[in-house]
Homo-oligomer: A and B are copies of this chain.
C-alpha cells in the first residue's frame, strides 16, 4: 500500500455519484434521514477510500486496518453507501433499501456492532472526533508496545460544523495536538450550513487558525476537486502533526434547486428534486441500481486493502509465537490467567488488618495489583490524579513521542477524557479507566452514555462521592448523580463500603467486558466492614452483611458505601432497645436486580420494615424499601462545611436510622 496507488479506470466523480444516489434514494424511501452531507462529502470519501484508506471488506476487523469515523453521524448513508460499494458483506442492497427500518442494520445513525464498517456509534455531535483521537492515541500506544510491523495505521475522520462547534471538540483537538498524533486526519465538511441555516448566524471563527493554535497541520481545499483532495491527503500524511483538511463543499451537491441550503440537511429531497438531480448528474439508473462498471471499480479499489491485510498477516506469521500470542491476547482484551491473585491477597490483608482507609485510597491499592497484572490497562485522570488516586507507583505517563506509558494526563477535560477512553476501548485491546469527582460525571455524561450504548469496558473512577467531601460545598457534592447514573441502561454503578468491597468492585468492572462501570469512591476514611470471603459478594449487587444471631429480624437497613458503617452502628443501637435489624450492603443496584427473586426477597427481608440510607438523592430507593419503608438521604443540594458536621446537618446519621425504625416499629 503506497500513497500513490493508481487511480481507478472509472471517473472518480461517477464513483462519488454512486454514493450520492444511494444516499438520496435511501432517505427518500425511508422518508427520513439526512441526504445533504453524503452528497456534499461524496467526492472526498471517494478519494479517501479508493486511493488511501487501508480497509478490507473481507476482513472488516483485522487489527491493523485504518479506522474511519463518521463524526457527523447523521450522514450515515455515506457510511452505508461506502460499505456497500466497497463490498462489506453485512451491508447489501437490501440493507440500503431498509435504511432506518426497525431491525435493519442500517440504523438512522451508524451503530457500533450493527455494521462492521462502523468503528463507533456516532450521531451525538463531537463524540466521533473525540473517539477518533482516542483511537489514534491507541494506535501509537499499541505501536510502542508491538512495533510498526504489527501496528501502523491511520485514523480518518469526517466532521461537520456541528462537531467543531461542540466544546468537546476543543478538548480533544488540544489533546491531539499536544500528543502529536500525526496519523490522525480530520476532514472538515466546510459546507457553511447547519440546521438553522448559514453557519454565519452562529459562528465566524477561523477554524484553521484554531487548529493551528493547537499545533495541527491545516489545509483548505475544494472538496469537489478530487485531485486537490488527494494532494491534501498526501501532504497530511507526510506531516508529523495531526491534520485538518477543510473541505469546502456544497451540501446536497448535485440537487439543482436545493443544493447549498439547509433543506437538504435532514429531510428527503422529494421525487421531483431527485429526478432533477438524476438529470443534472447524468445518472439514468433506477433507485438503488449502481451500474456494473461503477460497482466493479469500487470493488477493485477495495482490493488494495485486502492485499494490505494479507501482507500484514504474512508479517505476523513471521513473528515469534510468543509475540504473536501476546499481540492477539492484547487485542482481544483477554485477561491473563491468575491476574486476580494480588487482589485476592489484598482482600485477605484488609480483612486481617481491619484497615481504615478511604475507598479512593483502597482503589489505588487495588490498582497497584491490577496494573502489573493486566497489560491492557490505561489509567488517567482529568487533572485530579492526587485526589482520585488513579496512579500507581509502576505507571508512567503517555507523552508525545513516548507512547509506551500507561497513564494519561487528560487535562481538565472530563468530557474529552471519557470519549477518548471510548476510542481507546474501541480501538481494541485497551482497558481504560479515568478519574474525576463523582459530581463531574455531569461533564462527561454524553460520552458515558456512548460507552453504555456501545457495550464498552470503560471504568469511571469517580471519587469524592457525597457530602463527605466537605468544604468544597454544593457545586462539588454529588446528590442526584448516583440515581441519574442508575437510571441509565447498561451501566454498572458501584459504591463500595470498604477496601474489601472496593477490590471486589474492581474485579467486577474488569470482568464485565460488555458494560462500562462507575466506581463511586469516598474521599473520607472508612472502616473495614466485613471479613474475607472467597466469593465476590459484591457480584450479587447486594447481600446481608450482618444479621441478628438467630437469623430473624424486625427490620432491614440497606446502605451503600460510606453509610454502611452508619447502618452497622444503627443496628447496635436498635439491638440495645430490643429491635433486631439486619444490615444489607448494596454496592450495585443493577447487579442486585439481576438476582433471582428468592434471593432478593431473602436479602431485603420480606414483610419487614426497611430503611435505606445513602448520602445522596433518595430518588429511586422506594423500589427497595417499599410502600411502608423509609429513605434517609439528600433531598436538596449540599453545603460547605466539615464533612462530619454536614452529615449531622442533613440528618444522615445512625441515630436517624434508629429513630425512624423505632418510631415505626412502635406504632
Which residues in A have some Cβ–Cβ distance to B below 8 Å? 30, 32-33, 73, 100-104, 107-109, 111, 121-125, 161-162, 165-171, 174-175, 177-178, 194-196, 201-210, 212-215, 381, 383-387, 397, 409-416, 439-440, 442-443, 445-446, 449-450, 452-453, 470-476, 479-480, 483-490, 617, 619-620, 622-623, 626-627, 634-637, 639-642, 645-646, 649
Contact = CB atoms under 8 A, between A and B. Distances in A.
A214 B109 CA distance: 31
Contacts of A641: 100-103
A174 B102 contact: no
A635 B169 contact: no
Contact of A619 (B169, B381, B474, B483): B483
B387 A100 contact: no
A512 to B, nearest CB: 17
Contact of A111 (B32, B397, B474): B474
Instruction: Determine how many copies of this chain the complex contains.
Output: 2
Given A100-B641, A483-B619, A167 B415 contact: yes
Indicate the member of A125, A207, A440 with the most B CB atoms within 10 Å. Answer: A125
A22 to B, nearest CB: 17
Given A162-B412, A195-B387, 8 more contacts: A102-B641, A109-B640, A165-B171, A167-B168, A167-B416, A195-B385, A196-B385, A622-B623
A123 to B, nearest CB: 4
A201 B470 contact: no
14 contacts: A109-B475, A109-B476, A111-B474, A123-B472, A162-B383, A166-B167, A174-B203, A178-B204, A195-B386, A479-B489, A480-B488, A484-B488, A489-B636, A627-B627
Nearest to A473: B108
Most B CB within 10 A of own CB, among A102, A195, A196, A626: A196
A180 to B, nearest CB: 10
* Among A397, A471, A622, A642: residue with most chain B CB under 10 A: A471
Contacts of A166: 167, 171, 412-414, 443
Nearest to A32: B471
Given A411-B203, A412-B165, A473-B108, A489 B102 contact: no
Nearest to A105: B640
B214 A102 contact: no
Given A484-B484, A488-B480, A639-B102, A473 B177 contact: no
B171 A409 contact: no
